[in-house]
């Protein structure tokens, strides 16, 4: 294996470690909440803004599609999604840091909620943002990772490529042009030299 391949593999290993760390953080926080609070308990952290509210969600992120009958469908979709993300991560260049950050966070978030679905059939949520009678759906660390990962991927797909195309030259074209110029010059010199000889 070449040194470049080893360096690329080492670079991607860092993102797998990030995935494992975020997934572990998600499971640790869920464990703390589930063992120290009763289902339905709520602790105000910032009054009228942020609270820890222990809920269990049978649906997908942020409480959507919360029908328990879809448990194994969500498990199957999550497994496929994780595999797709990991394959995409392995095929992504180590130089594309933004996309690798996106994929690592997506993998961590999907795996975090997948573990809950397989283990208890529901996802543990506890972060609650609210103001008076208005509240955002309860979420967790895994949901946060998925949201940030999706946002980074949107930036990579719709913003980053345009700036890169505008500032970076295409190496294949530049090298091709550099290779053609000496050949053209040599052909021109061969054509001119007989003419000079005839003129003399």
Q: What does the alpha-carbon distance between residue 50 and residue 36 come to, in Å, rounded to a whole number? A: 18
Query: Is 125 annotated as catalytic?
Result: yes
Among 41, 116, 133, 143, the active-site one is: 143
DSSP string, 76-122: HHHHHHHHHHHHHHHHS-TT-HHHHHHHHHHHHHHHHHHHHHHHHSS
Q: What does the alpha-carbon distance between residue 105 and residue 51 come to, in Å, rounded to a whole number? A: 24
Among 44, 125, 133, 178, the active-site one is: 125
Q: What residues have CB less than 8 Å from 186, skipping those under 6 apart? A: none
Q: Which residues are catalytic, by number?
A: 125, 143
């Amino acid at each position: 294996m070449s040194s470049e391949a080893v360096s690329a593999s080492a670079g991607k290993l860092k993102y797998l470690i990030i995935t494992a760390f975020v997934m572990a953080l998600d499971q640790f926080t869920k464990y703390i909440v589930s063992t120290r609070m009763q289902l339905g308990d709520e602790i105000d952290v910032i009054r009228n803004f942020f609270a820890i509210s222990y809920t269990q969600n049978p649906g997908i992120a942020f409480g959507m599609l919360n029908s328990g009958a879809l448990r194994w469908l969500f498990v199957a979709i999550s497994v496929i999604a994780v595999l797709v993300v990991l394959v995409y991560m392995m095929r992504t260049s180590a130089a594309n840091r933004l996309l690798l950050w996106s994929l690592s966070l997506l993998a961590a978030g999907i795996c975090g909620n997948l573990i809950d679905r397989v283990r208890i059939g529901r996802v543990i949520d506890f972060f609650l943002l609210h103001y008076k009678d208005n509240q955002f759906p309860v979420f967790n660390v895994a949901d946060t990772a998925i949201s940030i990962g999706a946002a980074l991927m949107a930036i990579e797909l719709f913003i980053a490529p345009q700036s890169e195309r505008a500032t970076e030259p295409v190496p294949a074209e530049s090298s091709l042009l550099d290779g053609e110029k000496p050949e053209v010059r040599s052909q021109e010199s061969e054509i001119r030299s007989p003419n000079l000889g005839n003129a003399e």
